[in-house]
Structure 1
Amino acid sequence: MRFPCEIISEPFLARLRSDAAKYLYKKGYSQQSIADLLQVSQPIVSSYLKRKHNTNSEIPEIILREAQQIGTQIGEILDTQGNEGIPQSISIACQSCKKLRQGGGTCYYHKLLNPHLEENCTRCLTSEKLIVLQIDRENIINQLQLIFKNLINTTKYNYLIPEIGLQIVIGTSDMKSQDDIAGFPGRIIKRKTGLPSTEIPIFSTSQTMSKLLLITRKYFPNISGLAGIKTTEWLIEKLQETGISYFEYQGFDKNYENHMIELRENNDFPPINKPFVVVDQGSIGFEAISYVFAEKPNDLTKVFDLLLL
């Protein structure tokens, strides 16, 4: 059994890199400089330069020809733009790959290798379901960035950031694992001077918070966002002042699932579509962290705004 991506990896991408390396070498670049631009090791560049493109009757000429054209084009881009040309080079290679998969050389060769595939196979093309998934995930990343931007635009953001850092995660509507949940790698860390720092949000990070969110979904399937903020007397006063529903526990995250069951069975629990906060007083040796639960990502921003007014 062979997959379409194997055909792209070898010979297409290897041929593409080889032609890009040869173009740059002819322009006077050293092997190490070429390696830096192609983001490979110097010995690999050496092998690219020695490679002879022998005709292989099994591989459609269209794949080899496309690889040569794109490789030369990428070489020209890297020659004129240096590292700044890497994003454009990646885009060109990806577009070429898509073209070859839409009834092109990749399809032809793949069907030769897998004769049991139907004539109009479209398994490797982007389906409507994948497009919806991509849009959903892009929206989540954008929402996390917006939450961070709104947070640091307030003057009291440090009131919410624990010493170990602030964690915020948002999951897809059908989240099933950590891979379906996005957060900030390394947490949002406060500084003595200047704004808090963080990395760009990504999926499959924040293992602990992702686990907590998945457990939460078992008992509150409407919840999609979770934030871990600093527990203080100030926080409790602000929750009372703003009317945000909250519940107090001791060592909440030590027995998280049982506490979620208790919350679910609590007669005083707020309406299902309202954000709420669990104030954890912590335990010996652990910083006290409170948890903000939200149905919609912008509910997290609303809670932060109310607390920091």
Structure 2
Amino acid sequence: MKSPCELVVWHLLPAIRAELVKNLKKEQILQKDIAKYMGITPPSVSQYLSGKRGSDMELPEEIMLKIRELAKRIITEDMSPFEIMKSICPICIEARKKKILCDLHRKIDEGLPDDCNFWGEIKGCV
């Protein structure tokens, strides 16, 4: 059985990062600068933009809005990679509370109980 944390690392975080990269690119930020802001490599930025990473799940509109707001803050506040990381964590928590990983988890691990509420019980980063 997959750990719920594996789903976050392999699916949710890449989806959040991909949307953040796309939003920064829409603001005419250069790929090398996006990489510097986010503490990732330029090839990673390219993979997020091309859909090779982070494109296997759809995020709800409320989460997309939070990502757009973060992209604007990154530009206006000239945030450091550490500040960006701290700002991604609450977005990830909110997404997990919305149980957007439940369907994916059930596809991967058919043995999950129907009444599983793991994602609904998330309180914060650990």
Q: TM-score, normalised by structure 1?
A: 0.33
| Residue matched to 1:38 | 38
| Residue matched to 1:20 | 20
1:7–1:110 Cα contact (<8 Å) kept = yes
Q: CA offset at residue 123 of structure 1? A: 8.2
Matched, 1:74 2:70: yes
Unaligned runs of 5+ in 1: 128-133, 135-309
When residues 85 and 31 of structure 1 are mapped into structure 2, their CA distance, relative to the original with a 3 A threshold, is closer
Q: CA offset at residue 45 of structure 1? A: 1.1
Structure with bigger gyration radius: 1
The answer to which structure, 1 or 2, has the higher relative contact order (CA under 8 A, 6+ apart) is 2
When residues 5 and 69 of structure 1 are mapped into structure 2, their CA distance, relative to the original with a 3 A threshold, is farther
Question: Whole-Å Cα distance in 1 between the matches of residues 102 and 60 of structure 2?
Answer: 14
Structural mapping, 1:166-181, within 5 Å: none
RMSD: 3.4
| Residue matched to 2:91 | 96
When residues 24 and 8 of structure 1 are mapped into structure 2, their CA distance, relative to the original with a 3 A threshold, is same
| Residue matched to 2:112 | 117
Structure 2 counterpart SS, 1:22: helix
Matched, 1:29 2:29: yes
Structure 1 counterpart SS, 2:79: helix
- The share of aligned pairs that are identical, in percent, is 22
Deviations 1:115-168 (A, max 9, x none): 3223134389569xxxxxx8xxxxxxxxxxxxxxxxxxxxxxxxxxxxxxxxxx
Structure with greater strand share of residues = 1
When residues 92 and 106 of structure 1 are mapped into structure 2, their CA distance, relative to the original with a 3 A threshold, is farther
Unaligned runs of 5+ in 2: none
Structural mapping, 1:102-181, within 5 Å: 102=97, 104-118=99-113, 119-122=115-118, 125=121
